[in-house]
């Protein structure tokens, strides 16, 4: 049986060349479907990647109860000090807790295309780099604490105007020079860092927004959580940093993914009808050949399977072609969107999904023609012209 | 006209093929309708947006003292200024985000083009807890004139210690293209005085009207300069600039056009194959037609029309499906979800029709060439 399937399929593929343009309908249809699906999805994938990378599970973020974003959370200096001495937080070599009091401010920027936008300016403290070791200064130097100066992420530098080292940025209390640029591999690359206390003074804010801590161990989150919630002087919650970002990014990226699926879905249905059309045509042009095979003693099942295999092969080829085009065009490209800069991403998982879509289309599109091919009475098919 | 049966029989020679082709075309044009309809919405937003209206926002996100409004209106070139408080919250469940613009009485002069009558503006001014809402929001939350609408706003505490705002609907008005998910407007004074004293006297943004649209950008710069050294520096943008479809940083119109074009290419390929196949099968028939005296153009027209029927029919059906879907969209997505609803303007239908004709011509080009070069005798002999 397997041998029969193999022989019949080999025969199919050998004469594919005669049906080249017809078969290309399937390839083009699936290439369009998967290419569009992956391209549309590249923004939300980039968004997820940017946020998920930013959330190290060895870190926890402490925000006020009920806050769903950092700007909505308020932590006074007194609260921040209490939080930093809570159990479960790792200590550095000097015995100081690895806790960083952070503040977020909006910073107006101009995108390269001239449109205006905002980015996040993060005020961070002296221990920030120990807690976020992924931040690396790649040119210039780090800002000095207490100084009115800032460092910018390399994506912010690439996508916004006037973000070179030495440029001045208008802050509420005058111009701050940019003294360095950093990489971090996540959304922070599209943002700006400065000294927390100085940012606070400049923006007339009295409270921090969050406290970021490095956990003693992966499991010490519950220790920290219990200590914080049982302290009546604090109305705060701790959450693993990656969970925080996951929740934060899920809503919007989910929405973008939904749009990509709707558009991809419509194209897929269009491609499905194309696939049905092509496979019916293929079966009917090969009617005689199939009948001959059957007369020679090949079973109906191998014939049906060979038709399915052909549909799958063409569909998957189309999907890979579409994925390759989308990858060449978009993967890794920086895309400013809203108040962030994302790296468009076409992931292996996404390509896998595209191939699965292609297989589903091929199965649905090949099923009826393959049944028809197998069922056709041999004698009648042999007589047909 | 008398050749119509001829075309019809050619198409229906293989009914399955005809139906499948048509369905493919319908799908592609559904997508075309949605994407180009979306562009029509973007265009409508850009066209109805005003060059003389200036959004005055805090540069660093802090609320603005309402006294600033009076200082802004004194700046040369500014005709009117209105203040808006942003009441962000949710209705019943946390996922039901709701946004109410709490507006002062002067905003009516800044928004003369909004679909509210003078009486309706008066209603907002004279009913502290009243709101005027647009049709889309009314449908979404099942509200009518007179309905109560309670919203919870945890981030905006009230002086009484609660954070629930009890509003009631004064009137339902038309929607605006730029507010694709509808809008709600309430009374600023109520919003302001209900909050703790420390939070009072602050607006989230101002809107100003410039005397001269051509000067609006300049006036905006003047406003920024006036407050450059204040505790709350500003940034300004004209409504026209703010409502550009590329405002998010992504050129949405290019994306939607790209998707539409890819869909069309797919259909072009498919249709070209089907028509080529159909002509190949009936090569001898065409030779016969020529033999009995059909002119070259007549035969070619038959082929082009055979390609055009599914394309044009599919285009109309597809755009129709898109229109039906667009109508359902406000019910499917919650307001504030950020996706504008496609508008099915006559232009969308016209573009669809034009594209369908181009696809039909493109897909019949090769078969037509073959038929033109056909040697009748050989074609007939092949039978």
Question: Are B44 and B343 contacting, i.e. CB atoms less than 8 angstroms apart?
Answer: yes
CA distance B18 to B7: 12
CA distance B60 to B109: 27
Residue contact B231–A204, C-beta within 8 A: yes
* Residues 6+ positions from B353 with CB-CB distance below 8 Å: B312, B315, B316
Residue contact B259–A36, C-beta within 8 A: yes
Domain range list for chain A: 2-52+249-383, 66-234
Identify the residue whose tokens are 């001239």. Answer: A114
Most A CBs within 10 Å, among B13, B21, B27, B86, to test the A interface = B27
- What is the reported pLDDT for B333? 64
Residue contact A32–B266, C-beta within 8 A: yes
Kindly state whether A259 is in contact with chain B, defined as any CB-CB distance less than 8 angstroms. yes
Kindly tell me if the per-residue pLDDT of A252 is higher than 80: no
Total number of residues shown for chain B: 383
* Residues 6+ positions from B187 with CB-CB distance below 8 Å: B102, B103, B124, B125, B127, B128, B129, B130
Going by their DSSP bridges, the two strands B97-103 and B164-173 should be labelled as: unpaired
- What is the reported pLDDT for A185? 87
Closest CA to B250 of A259, A98, A71: A259
Of A25, A66, A204, the CB nearest to B154: A66
H-only helix segments in A286-339: 287-296, 300-330
Give contacts of A 270-329 with B, CB under 8 A: 270-271, 273-274, 276-278, 280-281
For residue B23, the chain A residues in CB contact (below 8 A) are 269-270, 273
B153 to chain A: closest CA residue: A66
ipTM: 0.82
Most A CBs within 10 Å, among B38, B234, B273, to test the A interface = B273
Kindly state whether B346 is in contact with chain A, defined as any CB-CB distance less than 8 angstroms. no
Kindly state whether B266 is in contact with chain A, defined as any CB-CB distance less than 8 angstroms. yes
CA of B192 vs chain A CAs: smallest distance (Å): 20
**Residue A31, H or E segment:** helix A20-54
- What is the reported pLDDT for A378? 83
Kindly tell me if the per-residue pLDDT of A234 is higher than 80: yes
Domain range list for chain B: 4-47+249-382, 50-242
Task: Read off the pLDDT of residues B199-252 as tens digits, 9 standing for 90 and up.
Answer: 899 999 999 999 999 999 999 999 999 998 888 888 899 999 888 877 777 888
Task: Read off the pLDDT of residues A98-123 as tens digits, 9 standing for 90 and up.
Answer: 999 999 988 889 899 888 888 999 99
Size of the A and B interface in Cβ pairs below 8 Å: 121
Residue A323 DSSP SS3: helix
Closest CA to B4 of B358, B296, B301: B301
For residue A117, the chain B residues in CB contact (below 8 A) are 249
Task: Read off the pLDDT of residues B249-265 as tens digits, 9 standing for 90 and up.
Answer: 788 888 889 999 999 99
B227 to chain A: closest CA residue: A172
**Residue B357, H or E segment:** helix B346-373
Kindly state whether B292 is in contact with chain A, defined as any CB-CB distance less than 8 angstroms. no
Residue contact A111–B249, C-beta within 8 A: yes
């Amino acid at each position: 049986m397997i041998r029969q399937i193999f022989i019949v399929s080999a025969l199919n593929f050998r004469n594919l060349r005669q049906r080249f343009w017809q078969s290309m309908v399937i390839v083009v249809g699936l290439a369009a479907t998967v290419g569009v699906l992956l391209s549309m999805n590249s923004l939300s994938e980039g968004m997820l990647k940017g946020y998920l990378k930013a959330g190290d599970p060895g870190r926890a973020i402490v925000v006020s109860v009920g806050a769903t974003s950092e700007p909505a959370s308020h932590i006074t200096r007194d609260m921040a000090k209490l939080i930093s001495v809570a159990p479960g937080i790792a200590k550095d070599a000097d015995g100081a807790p690895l806790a960083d009091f952070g503040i977020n401010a909006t910073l107006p920027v101009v995108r390269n295309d001239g449109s205006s936008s905002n980015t996040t300016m993060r005020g961070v403290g002296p221990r920030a780099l120990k807690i976020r070791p992924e931040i690396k200064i790649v040119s210039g130097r780090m800002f000095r604490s207490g100084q009115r100066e800032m460092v910018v992420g390399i994506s912010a530098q690439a996508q916004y105007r006037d973000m070179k080292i030495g440029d001045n940025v208008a802050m509420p209390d005058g111009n701050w020079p940019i003294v360095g640029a950093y990489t971090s591999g996540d959304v922070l690359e599209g943002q700006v860092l400065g000294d927390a206390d100085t940012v606070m003074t400049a923006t007339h804010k009295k409270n921090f927004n969050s406290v970021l801590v490095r956990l003693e161990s992966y499991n010490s989150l519950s220790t920290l959580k219990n200590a914080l919630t049982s302290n009546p002087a604090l109305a705060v919650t701790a959450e693993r940093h990656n969970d925080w970002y996951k929740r934060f990014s899920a809503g919007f990226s989910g929405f973008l993914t939904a749009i990509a699926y709707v558009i991809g879905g419509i194209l897929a249905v269009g491609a499905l009808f194309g696939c049905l059309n092509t496979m019916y045509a293929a079966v009917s042009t090969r009617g005689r050949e199939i009948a001959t095979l059957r007369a020679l003693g090949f079973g109906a099942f191998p014939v049906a399977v060979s038709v399915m295999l052909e549909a799958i092969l063409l569909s998957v080829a189309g999907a890979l072609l579409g994925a390759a085009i989308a990858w060449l065009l978009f993967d890794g490209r920086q895309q400013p969107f809203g108040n962030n800069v994302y790296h468009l991403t076409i992931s292996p998982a996404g390509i896998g999904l595209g191939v699965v879509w292609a297989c589903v289309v091929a199965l649905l599109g090949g099923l009826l023609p393959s049944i028809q091919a197998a069922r056709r009475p041999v004698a009648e098919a042999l007589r047909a012209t | 006209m008398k050749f119509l049966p001829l075309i019809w029989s050619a198409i229906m020679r293989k009914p399955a093929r005809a139906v499948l082709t048509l369905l493919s075309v319908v799908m592609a044009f559904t997508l075309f309708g949605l994407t180009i309809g979306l562009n029509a919405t973007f265009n409508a937003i850009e066209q109805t947006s005003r060059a003389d209206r200036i959004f005055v926002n805090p540069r660093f996100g802090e609320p603005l003292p309402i006294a600033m409004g009076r200082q802004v209106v004194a700046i040369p070139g500014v005709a009117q200024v209105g203040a808006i408080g942003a009441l962000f919250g949710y209705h019943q469940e946390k996922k039901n985000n709701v946004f109410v613009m709490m507006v002062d009485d002067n905003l009516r002069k800044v928004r003369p083009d909004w679909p509210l009558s003078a009486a309706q503006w008066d209603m907002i001014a004279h009913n502290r807890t009243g709101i005027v809402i647009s049709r889309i929001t009314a449908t979404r939350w099942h509200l009518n004139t007179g309905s109560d609408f309670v919203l919870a706003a945890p981030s905006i505490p009230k002086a009484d210690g609660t954070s629930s705002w009890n509003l009631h609907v004064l009137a339902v008005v038309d929607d605006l293209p730029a507010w694709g998910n509808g809008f709600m407007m309430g009374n600023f004074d109520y919003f302001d005085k209900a909050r703790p004293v420390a939070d009072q006297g602050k607006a989230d943004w101002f809107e100003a009207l410039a005397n001269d649209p051509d000067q609006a950008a300049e006036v905006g710069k003047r406003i920024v300069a006036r407050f450059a050294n204040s505790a709350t520096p500003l940034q300004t943008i004209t409504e026209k600039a703010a409502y550009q479809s590329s405002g998010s940083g992504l050129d949405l119109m290019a994306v939607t056009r790209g998707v539409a074009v890819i869909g069309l290419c797919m259909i072009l390929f498919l249709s070209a194959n089907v028509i080529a196949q159909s002509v190949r099968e009936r090569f001898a028939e065409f030779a016969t037609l020529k033999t009995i005296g059909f002119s070259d153009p007549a035969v070619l027209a038959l082929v082009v029309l055979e390609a055009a029927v599914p394309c044009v029919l599919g285009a109309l059906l597809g755009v129709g499906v898109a229109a039906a879907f667009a109508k359902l969209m406000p019910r499917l997505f919650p307001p504030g979800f950020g996706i504008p609803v496609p508008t099915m303007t006559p232009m969308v239908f016209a573009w669809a029709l034009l594209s369908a004709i181009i696809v039909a011509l493109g897909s019949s080009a090769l078969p037509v060439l073959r038929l033109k070069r056909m040697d009748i005798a050989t074609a007939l002999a092949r039978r």
